[in-house]
Structure 1
Amino acid sequence: MSDDTSLQIPFPHRRSPHGPYAAELHRAWLTRHPLLPDPTHPSYAHWDVVALAALGYPDAGQDELTLAADLMGFYFLFDDQFDGPLGRRPAEVAPICERLIAILHGAARPDRSSAVETAFADLWNRSAHGMPARWQARAAYNWEWYLASHPAEAAGRISERPPDRDGYLALRRGTAAMETIFDMVERLGHFEVPAAVLHHPVLRQIRQLAADIPSLSNDVRSFPLEAPRGDVNNLVLIVQRERHCSAEEACAVVMAEAQLMVERCRELYEQLPDVHRELGLSRVERSIAQRYADGLVTWLAGYLDWEARTGRYLAA
């Protein structure tokens, strides 16, 4: 996608200095959990998932950034296994996801576990370690939502009923995994957001916008790859159908919508000091609430910078 379709983001992006450290340990993790035949495969290296972690969580410590890098790798490699024929067989996708969901709820893994299962169990154990029960319950629910969305995505590829906007959003918000990514803002920062702040309408809107904007941008960048293989849960296709327009015009419409969402996110972000005051937060609570909100918009800015540079979408 050319630069003239890039979003204008009012939030700065920063990069963690611990990328080289995390990259070395991430290669070792891929060796222990062989989600790839070769952890040094040039194609995977060109995606630069460690850079995404470093841009998304720039304040994370060395070990925390390594966990983030391993998570980024898992998301992409787990999703990509469904790009081929398996992704058109929902009855086979569902048991794969159910076994991972069972791990979230304490099920013992069988002796002959797949690499996906051992990798996910490792990530979940490391993520949950030391976190309060309330965070773990929320994170487990969000992981379940992400995992359980894949059978529906597979069913969509063989369905004769393409989704409308509401159906698109319901599924995209699951498969995008953004709620799990935002849970890690707390985990990697070693804090927990007060419930009154986490569920306040202003912060909920910021979180939803920060989740949806990357999905729209990603739909545009990945459309040339997804359309030929029958992926229907892409907003570009929906806009084409709504407006009876070309793919190029639909991409422009989607990016314009995303830019409006960016502006709304900025407006809401600027309201946060008033929200904190109205809630009567203590100085410590305000600091934690602001760290979380900053984490959301930092991820947004960092992801969009990475997306414009990664080799993952160059084939498009």
Structure 2
Amino acid sequence: MELTTNGRQSGSAVAAPAHELDGQPSAQNGSAEELGVLGEVHNIVIPPIPCSFPWRNHPDYKALTEMSDAWVLAHFTNLPGADGRPSSFAAEHMIKSAFHMQATLPFADGISERMPPIIKMMDWYFMIDNILDDPSEMGADPERADKVVDSVLTVFRDTYVHPSPSSSPLVRILTDTAAEWWAEMCQGMPPKQKARLSKAFCDYLEANRLQVPYRNSRQLPDLETYLQVREDSIGWWPCAVLIEHCQGFELDDEALSHPLLIELQKNTVQHIFMTNDITSFKKEYMQGDFCNIVSLLYFRKLYDPKGDPQTPAPTLQGAVSEAIEMIRERDENAVRLMQQIRNCKELINKPGVEQYLQGLGLWMSGTIYWHLVSGRYGICATTDLHQTPPDMLVPHQLNIDVNKEAARTLPNGVMMSAAC
């Protein structure tokens, strides 16, 4: 069901050919409103992202960087795209984007010998995330996405056969590399911890499978549904288990089921995925992907049948500001909940709880750091990934060029579910 605005043009407000992004309208261009929205996309500024937790990097990050680069070059060089064309996110792109920093920043106190498989996992994570997100790969093709998900699930369900029997080189590489780091990671891992890790990976893959139909149909879910799906599709829950594994402790069932810790985890994962949604919005928009908190907040207002036609039309920058306030709320909640946990003797005295709290804080700050410095989303807030820290307290302009693999034409409309 497509929802229309009161007195506003629905659908066409998001339509604009990708080749118009140089600012020169073509003969095929649409209304001034279309170009205005496209201009908004290019001029978005990200306000400082609220985070009360300091960042730090792993003391062995240089050695881990070298290890990561070598592994990526050995496994992903000339990786084929989903349709046989050269992939836009093969080895050189992965190295430049420094995906491994998403392991050295949040797992800054990890036991060194346990870090290599975690680094490999993070490199792999971004590879499959790209493939399942990008509409030019499998992000808008449920059938091909199913084949990837079903194959990789065999690794985490202990039904994997070496080598993967898939006829697709892409699926084989993704499955076989997953099996490699999974086997290394699970050595010596307590059975309950491994079971939680396995479930978290399966939930991540299934959540990404759910997102493909939304992307393919241009239909966005209501906000509550999106938040629920995104909590799993961001892929953070396996990383939460690795906070324990990388430091050599295991939270007991009582700690894991405590309402305070559960609420803290929920605020943490939402802080993380909203940070990702804000910083990745422009790149995703240029690929024709609207499964994003900024898009959702914007289109909910644009297509609100109860909206007052006399009020100013919503803006994308306004949606970014609204998402920032949602992050601020999660940050404040995290600070409050950590204090409550530290004041709860029955919980804070359990082995590993204090280290776990520190790990959650590092995940929030480390996520912001990496998004600002890696260049993946075009912010480039520092000239050196490791030596010059970004200023997290100043606004940042998304100053990226058109994604080289972006669809040539953006969608002509976005659908919202009737529940919005």
Q: TM-score, normalised by structure 1?
A: 0.91
Distance 2:63 2:90 in 1: 16
Instruction: Specify which of 168, 171, 193 is matched with residue 229 of structure 2.
Output: 171
Q: Residues 116, 168 of structure 1: CA spacing in aligned structure 2 closer, same or farther, 3 A cutoff?
A: same
> How far apart are 1:44 and its partner, in Å?
2.5
User: How far apart, in 2, do the equivalents of 1:188 and 1:241 lie?
Assistant: 41
2:173 counterpart of 1:104: no
Report the equivalent of 2:358: 294
Tell me if structure 2 keeps the 8 A contact 1:193–1:289: yes
Give, as a single letter, the amino acid of the residue that structure 1 aligns with 2:146. A
Provide, for residues 123-159 of structure 1, a one-character-per-residue CA deviation record: whole Å limited to 9, x for no partner.
2112221111111111111100111222222111122
Shift of 1:110: 4.6
Structure 2 residue aligned with 1:221: 279
Task: Report SS of the residue matched to 2:352.
Answer: helix
Q: Which residue of 1 aligns with 2:5?
A: none
Matches within 5 A, 1:215-294: 215-244=273-302, 245-275=314-344, 277-279=345-347, 283=349, 285=350, 287-294=351-358
Q: How far apart, CA to CA, are the structure 1 residues paired with 2:279 and 2:357?
A: 26
Distance in 2 (alpha carbons) for counterparts of 1:36 and 1:167: 37
Aligned partner of 2:354: which letter?
Answer: Q
Question: Could you tell me how far apart the structure 2 residues matched to 1:155 and 1:223 are?
Answer: 19
Alignment of 1:67 with 2:117, yes or no, is: yes
Partner of 2:62: 20
Paired position in structure 2 for 1:131: 189
Q: Is the 8 A contact 2:214 2:220 kept in 1?
A: yes
Residue 92 and residue 48 in structure 1: after superposition, are their counterparts in 2 closer, same or farther (change >3 A)? same
CA pair 229-39 structure 1, distance change in 2 beyond 3 A: closer
Amino acid at match of 1:188: C
Select between 159-168 and 103-112 the one with higher mean Cα deviation.
Answer: 103-112
Task: Report the structure number with the largest CA radius of gyration.
Answer: 2
Amino acid at match of 2:123: G
* Stretches of structure 2 lacking an aligned partner (at least 5 in a row): 1-42, 80-88, 166-171, 303-313, 379-399, 402-420
State how far apart, in whole Å, the 2-side matches of 1:186 and 1:81 are.
29
Q: Following the alignment from structure 1 to structure 2, what is the Cα–Cα distance between the partners of residues 198 and 112?
A: 35
- Tell me, what secondary structure is at the counterpart of 1:271? helix
Aligned position for 1:312: 376
CA separation in 2, counterparts of 1:201 and 1:153? 28
Say if 1:157 and 1:8 are closer, same or farther in 2 by CA, change over 3 A: closer
Task: Decide whether the 8 Å contact of 2:114 with 2:185 is kept in 1.
Answer: no
Is contact 2:97-2:374 (8 Å) kept? Answer: yes
Q: Secondary structure of 2:147's match?
A: helix
Matched with 2:127 is 77
Q: CA deviation at 1:33?
A: 2.6
Which structure's relative contact order is higher, taking Cα pairs within 8 Å and 6+ residues apart? Answer: 2
Secondary structure in 2 matching 1:81? helix
Contact 2:46 2:279 in 1 (8 A): no
Q: State the identity %.
A: 21
Distance in 1 of aligned mates of 2:232 and 2:160: 25
1:7 partner amino acid: I
> Secondary structure in 1 aligned to 2:138?
helix
Going by fraction, where is helix more abundant, 1 or 2? 1
Aligned pairs for 1:109-120 within 5 A: 109-112=161-164, 114-120=172-178
- 1:75 and 1:217 map into 2 onto residues whose CA distance is 17
Deviation at 1:4, TM superposition (A): 6.2
Indicate yes or no: 2:258 matched with 1:200.
yes
How do 1:140-151 and structure 2 match up within 5 A? Answer: 140-151=198-209
